[in-house]
Amino acid sequence: MTTRVQGQRDVALTSLPFRGIAINDDTNNTTSVTVYASDSGILFINKKTGTTTYTLPAASDGKGKVFYFFSYVAENLVIAGASSILVGGTSGAAIVGATITLTGAIGGWAAVVGDGTNYFVFPGVGTWTYST
């Protein structure tokens, strides 16, 4: 077994992990949001009426990227990422084939981190379910 060296990391994250806020609301926004690799470090706040789906970039483009999601309204918030999402929870980790969904919880949130092969979802407040 190799000893880990201080400062060693498999994926280098940007030195500015939090870079801004993007609010999706009923004014001029949509229920289908494309998340780009360059959006790393952005907190996506969902204020949109109805189910809103945030589609992550290809897993290969997500290496070292971090995205944050927060629900301001009691609507479904869906994070889609093809077959590359790994989530953990009370029942253990599972590979997700398509999406994870926060079901209508005001204040629900999750952080999503990419390693270039998969996205790892750290579900916070709210009930998050996954589909294959």
pLDDT in tens, 94-129: 555 578 889 988 999 999 988 888 888 888 888 888
Cα(61)–Cα(63) distance, integer angstroms: 6
Tokens of 100: 């994870």
Is there a contact between 59 and 116 (Cβ–Cβ < 8 Å)? Answer: yes
Q: If pLDDT is split at 50, 70 and 90, which confidence band does 90 have?
A: very low
DSSP label at residue 66:
E
In this model, does residue 130 exceed pLDDT 70?
Answer: yes
Q: What's the pLDDT band for 12 if we cut at 50, 70, 90?
A: low
Cα 80 to chain centroid distance, Å, stands at 8
Task: Report the alpha-carbon distance of residue 51 to residue 49 in Å, rounded.
Answer: 7
For residue 111, report the phi and psi dihedrals to the nearest 5 degrees. Answer: -115, 140
Query: What region, left, alpha or beta, does residue 116 occupy, with left being phi > 0 and alpha being psi -120 to 50 degrees?
Result: left
Domain chopping of the chain, boundaries:
20-131
Q: What is the residue-averaged pLDDT of the chain?
A: 80
The residues pairing with 95 across neighbouring beta strands, listed in sequence order, are 86
Q: Which range, 22-31, 80-89, 94-103, has the best average confidence (pLDDT)? A: 22-31
The predicted structure's pLDDT at residue 89: 46
Q: How many CB atoms lie within 10 A of CB 85?
A: 25
* Average pLDDT of span 50-71: 92
Please identify which residue in the block is written with the tokens 């009930």.
127
